[in-house]
Amino acid sequence: MSSNNLPVQSVLIYSNGELIGDGMMKMPFIRALPFAFPNAHVTWLAGRHKTIFKTALHPLVSPYIHNIIDQTGFGEKWPHIWQKPWGKTFPNQSFDVILDTEKKIIPALMLKQIPHKLFISSAYKWKFSDKKPNSSYKKPLLLVDRLLDLLTVATGKKAKTIYDIEIPEKWMAIASDLMKDFLGKKKIVLLAPGAGGRFKCWPLERFVGLAQKLEQEDIQPLFILGPAEPEWRKDIEKLMPNAIFPLQNTTENSAYLTIALGALADVNVANDGGVGHILASSNKPTISMWGPTDPLKSTPNGREVIVIKSQDFGGDEMSDIPLNAIYEQVTAILKHQTPAQVSQAL
């Protein structure tokens, strides 16, 4: 509700922009919007960078976000507070609710100038927000929880965490066709060796070694390669000529297809990266590997995410995670057993 208790008709949400991993982490927040503000028209304003919500993740967010504007530069400089650069983008327009997801002083003060009824921001310990959490509030570590808190403060009701995602029948059918040789015949494990930064990647030869060990147990591995990793196919095939790449066996392309493949698999194995976040959203068991980055802030959203950190094995690099640790975790999941000494689920 807005401050005058009338139904909310318009909502503006501000961010810096989103890559695919950021976007997937924000999906439970986005799916909670219609519960917080039923029937409201939602505008997503990405000020500094482009947002993946306009491209690869647009099909996932389009039921909840009705207008997406990105790379405006709004909120980058102090003069934006009094120059009002948003005036041409939102001429003679006001919003019932503005949500600031960025926690920075400049965009918060700029957004405060846009005509509104209710402004919610955690910037500077909620200093500029029209409503604030109670005095005992502690900032959550996870990004998605911090975003959901904005909705809780705005509405006065605990925001729902919605992990379930409805996969359109079209994409389930395509995924089923790509996996038809194995569905119902073998256990299937999806392996996603890529990530946005190579320092986030478990060594490629370990993924191949894991695939080979699984094949020896009559478990079918499938490799999921993202758009930035097509050259890896040749590297994998040198070590494993019979490797299978379902996304490279179709001209169809959608995040929904990757989610559908993850939903049909028995286990997904991925690095800290965009594809890992997508697979985790399938709510099938997903092993998420982490090295120099911190999973406490960015754990993928999903009902069955198992985090394995290099620190559990005495190091800080992805290469410190042993092949056998992941193999044992996969086979334990397939046997419905999770050895405590191998994984630490957050």
How is 111-154 classified by DSSP, letter by letter?
HHHS-EEEEEE-HHHHTT-SS---TT----SSHHHHHHHHHHHH
**Domain 10-155 - what CATH class?**
alpha beta
Q: Name the 3-class secondary structure at 286.
A: strand
What does pLDDT average to over the chain?
Answer: 92
3-state secondary structure of 53: helix
Interacting residues of 54 by C-beta distance below 8 A, sequence separation 6+: 68, 70
The residues of the chain that CATH labels 3.40.50.2000 are 10-155, 170-334
Phi/psi of residue 31, each to 5°? -70, -20
205: which 2 tokens? Answer: 């030869």
The reported pLDDT for the residue numbered 342 is 36
| Homologous superfamily, domain 170-334 | Glycogen Phosphorylase B; (3.40.50.2000)
pLDDT less than 50: residues of the chain: 1-4, 337-346
pLDDT of residue 6: 65
pLDDT of residue 196: 79
pLDDT at res. 164: 87
Whether residue 77 contacts residue 47, with contact meaning beta carbons closer than 8 Å, is answered with: no
